[in-house]
Structure 1
Amino acid sequence: MKAVVIGGTGATGRELVLQLLANPQVESVVALVRRAFFPPDPKLQEVIVDFDRLEEYAAYIVGDVAYSTLGTTLKQAGDKDKQWQVDYEYQLHFARIARRNKIFTFVLLSANQAHPDSRIFYSRMKGKLEEAIISLDYPKLIILRPGFIARPNTDRRMEKISLGIISFFNKIGLFRKFRPISTVDLANVILNSSLNENEKDVDIWESPKILGFKQSA
Structure 2
Amino acid sequence: MKTAIILGATGLTGGELLNRLLKDVRYKKIKLFSRSAIGLKNEKIEEHLIDLFELEKYAEDFQADEVHCCIGTTQAKTPDDETYHKIDYGIPVTAAKLAKENNIGRFLVISALGAHVNSKFFYNRTKGEMERDVLALGIPETYILQPSLIAGRREEKRPFEAAWKKVMSVGNHLLVGPLKKYRSIHAGVIADAMVYLANNKYSVIRIESDEIREIATSYR
Q: TM-score, normalised by structure 2?
A: 0.91
- Pairs within 5 Å for 1:115-194: 115-153=116-154, 155-171=157-173, 176-194=180-198
Which residue does 2:215 correspond to in 1? 213
Q: Matches of 1:176 and 1:143 in 2, distance apart?
A: 19
Q: 101-110 or 207-216, which moves further after superposition?
A: 207-216
1:105 Cα offset (Å): 0.3
Extract unaligned runs of 5+ from structure 2: none
* Deviation of the 1:148 alpha carbon: 1.5
Matched with 2:101 is 100
1:5 shift after superposition: 1.1
The offset of 1:168, in angstroms, is 1.5
Question: How far did residue 47 of structure 1 move?
Answer: 0.6
CA–CA distance in structure 2, aligned partners of residues 74 and 157 of structure 1: 13
Q: How many residues align structurally? A: 215
CA offset digits 1:177-211 (Å, max 9, x no partner): 4222211221111111111133x4x6221112112
Q: Which residue of 2 aligns with 1:29?
A: 30
Letter of the 1:187 partner, please give it: A
CA RMSD of aligned residues (A): 1.7
Partners of 2:17 and 2:46 in 1: how far apart?
Answer: 15
CA distance, structure 1, for counterparts of residue 97 and residue 133 of structure 2: 10
Structure 2 counterpart of 1:77, one-letter code: T
Q: Distance in 2 between matches of 1:117 and 1:160?
A: 28
Residue 77 of structure 1, CA deviation = 2.0
- What TM-score, normalized by structure 1, do the two folds share? 0.92
Secondary structure of 2:144's aligned partner? strand
Report deviation, 1:141: 0.3
SS state at 1:103 partner: coil
| Counterparts of 1:16 and 1:9, CA distance in 2 | 10
Deviates more, 1:98-107 or 1:75-84: 75-84
Q: Which amino acid aligns with 2:200?
A: N
Identity of aligned residues (%): 29
Shift in Å, 1:52: 2.7
Q: Contact 1:110–1:144 (CA<8 Å) still a contact in 2? A: yes
Matches within 5 A, 1:82-93: 82-93=83-94
Alpha-carbon shift at residue 176 of structure 1 (Å): 4.1
Cα deviation for residue 95 of structure 1 reads 1.1
Alignment partners' CA distance in 1, 2:13 and 2:169 = 20
